[in-house]
Structure 1
Amino acid sequence: MPPGDPGEHLMRENRPNERDRHIRIMPPTSQNTSPSITHQLVRRKAARRNYEEIRKYALPNALRNRPAGPDIVAWPGLSYALLFLEWEARYPQEWTRHAKAWGTKQDLIPDVAVAHHDETVRTKLADLIEIVVQRPYRCKDREYVRAARAVDSNDMRTRLKTAARSGNPWAQRHAGYILWLLDRPEVPNTRHV
């Protein structure tokens, strides 16, 4: 048919469109008022609401959705947050398989990177940084620079210098980068550095 032929317009009008296909596959619920269908829909919505509510209190969402305002040092979930970060640092494949949550990791590291932790937490953060610099870069690892700046000490720098002198090329690069930034606190930790 040549373009502009009146028959083409009629063919287009009678051809099923996406809306028609959707109705055939999934009929609108407003037309389907049987009690069993309505009951199933109500149960599904209630189950979904319950699932979303429970997720707020389970790992990793419980860590990401911590209440705003309170100081991280006094937060009861701090030990769980450090354990979550340690799990990701020590066992990255298992963490990825079972709890992959890059956004949670990205939010937690700056949250825990404060200077007024007690010595136990500072040591745990230094341990995490030491583990992270020894492995290939993973998503959001750059956030550990902030933690290194928060717990900067002679011990932290000694650990990083040891890693930078090791035979591990990942450790040389990561530790060297963090040491370079520790010596230059005015330089931002961005991809462009």
Structure 2
Amino acid sequence: MTERAGSGVDDDHGWTERLAWAYGLIAPDPAERAAALDRLASARGEVESARLRVTKAWLPAPRLRFKARDRAAAQEAYDEAASRCLPEALWSRQPPGEINTWAGLPFALLFLEWEARYPQEWTQHAKAWGTKQSLIRKLATANHDDQVRTKLVDLVDLAVQRPYRCKDREYVRVARAVDGDELRGRLHRAHRSGNSWAQLHSGYVLWLLDHPEVPNTRHVWRTWLAGTRTC
């Protein structure tokens, strides 16, 4: 969708106006999360209705003739509905350049934090493994400000604390991009914890950080894991 000049819909204020409610998805209060999930369900319903209108505008019908302007209007209505829903907003308004200057960055981080903190709710209401993978890869860059770097360190820490979930392996890219004292301190604490998953995953990430030339492949993981079990 080409935005109207001067509309401001893709600046920070525009994203916040459309999606501020989504912060409830990562709230510690179950009632607040439930309210946000209700809002998400409503937004998803609007997206699906708009999608059907787009489909109808393009399908041949015996007694209906849709003009180009009708199709454009249906597509514009869909884009507007999608901009108010997750993860659809992250699909329909991709960053035009570097992700660190993208107005949608806070909501990309929110989407990943939701998956990290409340994986079952995320899976039930907004499962999108490809979106998770794409966002993590785009975020794996070193030129973030301190606030974003802190959030990325949090995400890596959350990922190593739990049993492996689809695309979690991508967080190694982020760990390498934001490597530093804070991240390594978190990983060492996880490695000393009583959480067996945290011990295993943090140990692997720390080893990869010390060996930046080694690719993070399944073969490397299995070889490293076999080595730890024979020590």
Please show how residues 35-46 of structure 1 align to structure 2 within 5 Å. 38-39=63-64
1:124 corresponds in structure 2 to: 151
Provide the secondary structure at the position in 1 that maps to 2:218. Answer: coil
Q: Determine if the alignment matches structure 1 residue 182 to structure 2 residue 209.
A: yes
Contact 1:61 1:104 in 2 (8 A): no
2:92 & 2:218 partners in 1: Cα distance?
Answer: 27
Residue identity over aligned pairs, in percent, reads: 61
2:178 corresponds in structure 1 to: 151
2:213 & 2:169 partners in 1: Cα distance?
Answer: 16
Please show how residues 9-158 of structure 1 align to structure 2 within 5 Å. 33=62, 38-39=63-64, 49=75, 52-54=78-80, 56-57=82-83, 58-67=85-94, 69-158=96-185
Residues 82 and 135 (structure 1), Cα distance of their counterparts in 2 relative to 1, 3 Å cut? same
1:13 corresponds in structure 2 to: none
Deviations 1:72-106 (A, max 9, x none): 11110111111110000000000111111100000
2:185 & 2:146 partners in 1: Cα distance?
Answer: 17
Residues 66 and 134 (structure 1), Cα distance of their counterparts in 2 relative to 1, 3 Å cut? same
When the two structures are aligned, how many residues end up with a matched partner?
157
2:90 & 2:138 partners in 1: Cα distance?
Answer: 11
Structure (1 or 2) with the larger CA radius of gyration: 1
**Matching residue's letter, 2:88:** N
Contact 1:64 1:108 in 2 (8 A): no
Deviation, 1:64, is 3.6
**Matching residue's letter, 2:181:** N
Residues 68 and 86 (structure 1), Cα distance of their counterparts in 2 relative to 1, 3 Å cut? closer
Deviation, 1:138, is 0.4
Deviation, 1:61, is 2.6
In structure 2, runs of 5+ residues without a counterpart are 1-58, 221-231
Which structure has more helix as a fraction of its residues?
Answer: 2
**Matching residue's letter, 1:53:** D
1:191 corresponds in structure 2 to: 218
More off after superposition, 51-60 vs 150-159: 51-60
In structure 1, runs of 5+ residues without a counterpart are 1-28
